Amino acid sequence: MPELPEVEALAAFLRERAVGRVVARVDVPGIHVLKTYDPPPTALAGLEVTGAARHGKFLDLTVGGSGPGGDGGLHLVVHLARAGWLHWRESLPPAPPRMGKGPLGMRIHLADPATGETAGGFDLTEQGTQKRLAVYVVREPAEVPGVARLGIDVLDPAFTVDALAGLLTGQRSQVKGLLTDQSVLAGVGNAYSDEVLWEVRMSPFKPASSLTDDDVARLHAALVGTIRDAVGRAEGLAAGKLKAEKKSGLNVHGRAGLPCPRCGDTVREVSFATKALQYCPTCQTGGKPLADRRLSRLLK
C-alpha cells in the first residue's frame, strides 16, 4: 500500500509530467472506483492540470482554476488503497477501454495545450479482488470524507514532540493502532509504522498511554526520520520504480522469516486488525513472540 512517501513522490512526478497539460478525455472502465457523481468526470475534459498535491495518503490533482492553489478549479482526489497504483503512459490507445472487472479503474488522457496533440496520460489500476481504489471529483479536497477526517501530517512543522504527546494523552489503544489511525496521524500506514516501532525497539501492542516522555521523544524522532528518509529515497523516481524502492528500504515490514538486520533474530508476523504486522521479538518484545489477538482466533 502506498503511504506518505510514495504518494508524495507520485505528486512530485505528476507536477513534472502532468501539470501544464490539458485533460483530453477521461475513461472510467471501472465505474465502481468513482465515489462522486457531481461534477461528473467528463467535467475535467478541456481543463489544464494546474497542480498536484498530497493529503495524508490521498493524491490530489488540481484541474482548471487559477493561481498556485488552482482556486476555482476541480480536484481529482485518489486513494490508492492497498493494491491500487498509478501508471504513467507516454502514449495511450485512442480506443476507449472495455468496461468491466479488469484492473483498470480510470484512464486520464492528456494533451499538449498548444497543439492539442495527445501527450500521454495515466492509468489508475487495482490488482486483486478487494475493490477499494477510490476516486473523487470534487470542488474542494475537504469534500472527500477521508480527507476531512485527517489528523496532523507527519511532515507538518506543527508535528512536534509536544504535539505527539498531546495525541497520545488519554489514548487507551495500542501504539500500532494509533500510529496508523489516519484521523490521529496522517500518512503513516502498516509498513512505515512497523519500521518506526522496530527503530525505537517498541512492542506494537504497547498501550499508548504507558509511553514515557523519553518514549514519546524517541517515537517522534523515528517517525519524522523514517518518513523523511523514505521521501528522500522516493524523490525523483518515476512512478513505476516507487514500489521496488519502498520494499528495498524496509527492515522488518514484509520480512517475516528473514533475519532482523540489527540482531539476527527471525522477524515474526502477527495479525493486527485486518492485516499482518511484522516485528523482531529480540529488539521489540523482550524475545517473546506476540500472541495473535484476532477475535476470530479466540472463537475457533
For residue 38, the tally of other CB atoms under 10 A from its CB is 8
Residue placing its CB nearer to Zn ion in the complex, 245 or 265: 265
Q: Can you list the positions of beta strands (E) in 134-232?
A: 134-138, 152-153, 185-186
CB of 275 to Zn ion, least distance (A): 21
Phi-psi region of 129 (alpha: psi -120 to 50; beta: other; left: phi over 0): alpha
Nearer Cβ to Zn ion, position 63 or 197?
A: 197
CB of 252 to Zn ion, least distance (A): 8
Q: Reading across the β-sheet that carries 104-111, which strands appear in turn?
A: 22-27, 104-111, 118-126, 84-89
Nearer to Zn ion, 73 or 281 (CB): 281
Tell me the helices (H) and strands (E) count for the chain, helix number first.
Answer: 9, 12
244 burial class (0-12, 13-18, 19+ CB within 10 angstroms)?
exposed
Query: Closest separation between CB of residue 175 and Zn ion, Å?
Result: 18
Decide whether 233 or 262 has the Cβ nearer to Zn ion. Answer: 262
Residues that bind Zn ion (CB under 5 A): 260, 262-263, 265, 280, 282-283
What residue number has its CB nearest to Zn ion? 260
Work out how close the CB of 266 gets to Zn ion at its nearest, in angstroms, rounded to a whole number.
9
Stretch (H or E) spanning 279: strand 275-279
At position 125, the amino acid (one-letter code) is T
For Zn ion, which is the closer residue by CB, 61 or 260?
A: 260
| Minimum CB–partner distance for residue 280 and Zn ion (Å) | 3
Angstrom distance (rounded) from CA 192 to CA 154: 12
d(CA 264, CA 129): 36
CB of 267 to Zn ion, least distance (A): 8
- Relative orientation angle of helices 190-199 and 213-234, to the nearest 10 degrees: 130
Q: What is the distance between the alpha carbons of residues 174 and 67, in angstroms, rounded to a whole number?
A: 43
Least distance to Zn ion, CB of residue 273, Å: 24
The residue (of 148 and 263) whose beta carbon lies closer to Zn ion is 263
For Zn ion, the closer of residues 107 and 218 by Cβ is 218
